[in-house]
Chains A and B, each alone.
Chain A
Amino acid sequence: GESVGLHLPTLSVQEGDNSIINCAYSNSASDYFIWYKQESGKGPQFIIDIRSNMDKRQGQRVTVLLNKTVKHLSLQIAATQPGDSAVYFCACEESGGGADGLTFGKGTHLIIQP
């Protein structure tokens, strides 16, 4: 199967600072990418997505960047807040790929320090 990995398992940032979480994927056929946030004891929650025809997409305090050349995805969170503390993981989908075309990263634990 394809691999999706995260560079840092734990990221600690000061409240108010910006954070960047990275993700590398290996399936060049992936054309849809999603970032999820998972708080302790809860299910994953959609944050933002991006399709392969874009290289940047912005939401409220979050920005996703996609570099298809190096198969790299990042999530930027601006002005972090205590509520941002969670595990963040990326997912990559390949249209028409079925279950084999969907891969999730292991996750990065983001810790916001006061």
Chain B
Amino acid sequence: DAGVIQSPRHEVTEMGQEVTLRCKPISGHNSLFWYRQTMMRGLELLIYFNNNVPIDDSGMPEDRFSAKMPNASFSTLKIQPSEPRDSAVYFCASSPTSWGDEQFFGPGTRLTVL
């Protein structure tokens, strides 16, 4: 298995632009997680899905952030409009079940908003 796949690996955009990050979880995994990592705040959980359904989005910073999982093999995290403070590395992870199970992380997308 190729593991969790994320694209793009790097994204540089200007403030106000829409940004879409993509994730393909490991086949057969039922849960998908979106994280944001910064030097100041470390790793933060933004939202997680179980069986394609958003379970908890309390970590999403504000309405500019939205996430979808239209099927078991694909998820997107969208920021519109983007701001410089959104600059971070965004990770997607998947796990076979839900809480209390090992999560497999993707390589991350490094987002820079100018």
Interface residues of A (CB under 8 A from B): 31-32, 34, 41-46, 49, 51, 89, 91, 93, 95-102, 104-107
Q: List 18 A-B contacts (CB under 8 A).
A: A32-B100, A41-B107, A42-B107, A43-B93, A44-B91, A44-B93, A46-B103, A49-B102, A51-B100, A89-B42, A89-B43, A96-B99, A98-B55, A99-B45, A99-B56, A99-B57, A101-B99, A104-B43
How would you classify the secondary structure of chain A's contact residues: helix, strand, loop or mixed?
A: mixed
In whole Å, how far is A103's beta carbon from the nearest beta carbon of chain B? 9
Please tell me if the beta carbons of B42 and A46 are within 8 angstroms of each other in the complex.
Answer: no
A104-B42 contact in complex given A34-B102, A46-B102, C-beta closer than 8 Å: yes
Give how many B residues have a beta carbon under 8 Å from the other chain's beta carbons. Answer: 24
Specify which chain A residues have a CB less than 8 angstroms from the CB of B106 in the assembled complex: 43
Of B43, B44, B99, which is within 8 A of A93 by CB? Answer: B99
Q: Count A-B pairs with CB separation below 8 Å.
A: 57
Please tell me if the beta carbons of A105 and B99 are within 8 angstroms of each other in the complex.
Answer: no
Please tell me if the beta carbons of B99 and A44 are within 8 angstroms of each other in the complex.
Answer: no
**B32 at interface, CB cutoff 8 A:** no
A51 CA to B43 CA in the complex, in Å?
A: 21
In whole Å, how far is A76's beta carbon from the nearest beta carbon of chain B? 20
Please tell me if the beta carbons of A98 and B108 are within 8 angstroms of each other in the complex.
Answer: no
